[in-house]
Structure 1
Amino acid sequence: MKVLEIMTRLPVATSPAARLLDAAEAMLSANVSALPVVSGDQLVGIITEGDLMRRWEAGTDRKYPGFATVKVGVEKMAADFVRSHGGYVRELMTKNCVSVDEETLIEDAIRLFERHGFKQLPVTSGKKFSGIITRRNILESFVRNARRISQEEHSDEDIKRAILAIYTREPWAPLAHIDLCVRDGVVEILGDVEAETQRQAVVAAAEGVPGVKRVVDHLSSKAGDNERKD
């Protein structure tokens, strides 16, 4: 799946010449934590709620008493003053921000979210700004697909085959030491595992297969050698 399939097109955006107050109010009105900054049809940056945390209007601007001014230096203090007192988006926005193309795979976009801790990424088509992809977009995609899959019919044999396929391809799965029975969507798993985390993975694999109503865990773990029935 590609970014263009789940992204938000024509999201709320701002311009470098916009006043910060207007941008902040736009974020609140749209219930978003960031706004792409667009000039013409070109993405030129992004401004986030984090950029507005240190503002003199709220009394949260940085202050450097005494010898702190020597330690911090003129350049840093001046930059902080701009961030706390500047009135326009161009003064606080992040230029050359990370973005993705519409044709980017969702998996690659998720890696960027994870690596940088982003909540959203601007999307471009060629050099033109075209939208934004957010964690919410990915969550909505999960819900849509999960609901669709849950409504499909799955026989016990289909379920068993799908679970065994997971155990076969996953290196952590002790395929030779486990067995399972599926009846009316209820999966019973028997056998031995090396560790509790391995038990959890074996059970989670079965729970995630479409058509499974419940998993009954009869596994024995060498770590605790206990049996749990759910």
Structure 2
Amino acid sequence: MKKRTPVSKIMTKDPISVNLSNDLADVVQIFKERNIHHIPVVSGDRLLGMISKTDIDRISYVNSYATEAANAVVYDILKLEQVMTSNLETIQAEDQIKEAAELLARGSYHALPVMEGNKLAGIVTSTDVINYLLEQF
């Protein structure tokens, strides 16, 4: 197993991001169209937070019972900054994959923003780490 492989080798580079001018309906549409589960929230180059599909599911009525109209009302009432996670763990692009795995294993989240200095460079998910490990065997 390659022990010193940097996160930059497995991260999604230039991830889709949103900013605070996007509403929750925009975010839901991106999740559906792109089949992704995590979206960084930015202001220019500055990372403000992350929103996940799980965050959206938490504010929606129980999905099997909700109507689209009921969920749309919830999405209109709440603002992105009220739903996103803003106190994030991050990792640097040159950090080792092992460090990302350790952060993901002990956190209650499944994605980390990958930074180059203070600029968002990508995103790495628990699935990325698992796929990397599977390739090693």
Alignment TM-score, normalising by the size of structure 1: 0.48
Which of structures 1 and 2 has the larger relative contact order (alpha carbons within 8 angstroms, sep 6+)?
Answer: 2
Match of residue 213 from structure 1: none
Gaps of 5+ in 2: 68-73
What SS does the corresponding residue of 2:121 show, helix, strand or coil? strand
Instruction: Give the Cα–Cα distance (whole angstroms) in 2 for the partners of residues 54 and 140 of structure 1.
Output: 30
Supply the AA of the counterpart residue of 1:85: I
| Max Rg structure | 1
Q: 1:122 aligns with which of 113, 125, 130?
A: 113
Q: C-alpha displacement at 1:55, in angstroms?
A: 3.2
Map 1:194-205 onto structure 2 (within 5 A): none
| CA RMSD in angstroms, aligned pairs only | 2.3
Match of residue 51 from structure 1: 55
Supply the AA of the counterpart residue of 1:89: L
Supply the AA of the counterpart residue of 1:121: L
- Deviation string 1:167-224 (CA, Å, 9 cap, x unpaired) is xxxxxxxxxxxxxxxxxxxxxxxxxxxxxxxxxxxxxxxxxxxxxxxxxxxxxxxxxx
Q: C-alpha displacement at 1:109, in angstroms?
A: 0.9
Gaps of 5+ in 1: 60-81, 147-230
Instruction: Give the Cα–Cα distance (whole angstroms) in 1 for the partners of residues 20 and 94 of structure 2.
Output: 27
Supply the AA of the counterpart residue of 2:99: D
Q: 2:84 aligns with which of 93, 111, 124?
A: 93
Map 1:1-230 onto structure 2 (within 5 A): 1-52=5-56, 53-55=58-60, 58=66, 85-86=77-78, 88-146=79-137
Q: Residues 55 and 84 of structure 1 are in contact (CA less than 8 Å); yes or no, is this contact kept in structure 2? A: no
- Deviation string 1:66-122 (CA, Å, 9 cap, x unpaired) is xxxxxxxxxxxxxxxx99931x32232111311111121111111111111321111
